[in-house]
Amino acid sequence: MTALPGAAALASGATLEAGRLRLRMFHEGDLDGLAALYGDAETMRHIGDGRVLSREETWRAIAGMLGHWALRGYGMWALELEATGELVGRVGFIDPPGWPGFELGWLVARPHWGKGYATEAARVALGHAVVALRRDRVISLIRPGNRASARVAAKIGMRQESAIEFLGGPVEVHAYAAR
């Protein structure tokens, strides 16, 4: 039997340090913290179809993120404060079949907005994509009106290149092209 391509990354923990933050694999103990984040309507307003997720849906989302790691060798990390270990969000890569491109996404819990965590984590993740994963193009799909995420994208060197219809609505495609 052949191992899944990302099994080694999943087993190794694939942790990155980002200044005040640690990017690490999700585990079952993250369920309550992530469910609180995914259950906040204001936080979720620009994510996916804009709806909140139940605790059960959050559990499946964690399983899906871990499955992405197992199948692709990369995916979403839990984003935690280095000093306390508190879960404050998620950051990482989304690239299932049919996706518009290799996407870097981020989401930070509302009590932690405005502290620069999304930019700090996204910058480290983008560097990982370019150096370790050898990606020469990385996109972020951002809903119109999500100015905070558009600012993060600009701060890490992305530029808006187009707009598409995706997952039931319009999204701006912001892209980083390695030179």
pLDDT at 95 over 50: yes
Domain assignment present for residue 117? The answer is yes
- pTM summary value: 0.91
**pLDDT greater at residue 11 or residue 31:** 31
63 is a domain residue: yes
Q: Which pLDDT score is estimated for 77?
A: 98
Q: What is the mean pLDDT of residues 61-88?
A: 96
Q: Greater confidence, 5 or 116? A: 116
What's the confidence (pLDDT) of residue 9? 54
Tell me, yes or no, whether 24 lies in a domain.
yes
Distant-in-sequence, close-in-space partners of 174: CB < 8 Å, separation ≥ 6:
139, 140, 141, 142, 150, 153, 154, 158, 159, 160, 161
Residue 8 is predicted with a pLDDT of: 53
Residue 91 sits in a domain whose CATH number is 3.40.630.30
Instruction: Report the number of distinct structural domains present in the chain.
Output: 1
Contact residues for 125 (Cβ-Cβ < 8 A; gap 6+): 16, 23, 77, 91, 92, 93, 104, 106
Question: Does residue 27 sit within a domain?
Answer: yes
Q: Residue 163: in which H helix or E strand, if any?
A: strand 159-166
Q: What residues make up the domain containing 156?
A: 17-177
Assigned domain for 8 exists = no
In a domain, 144, yes or no: yes
Q: Does any domain span residue 171?
A: yes
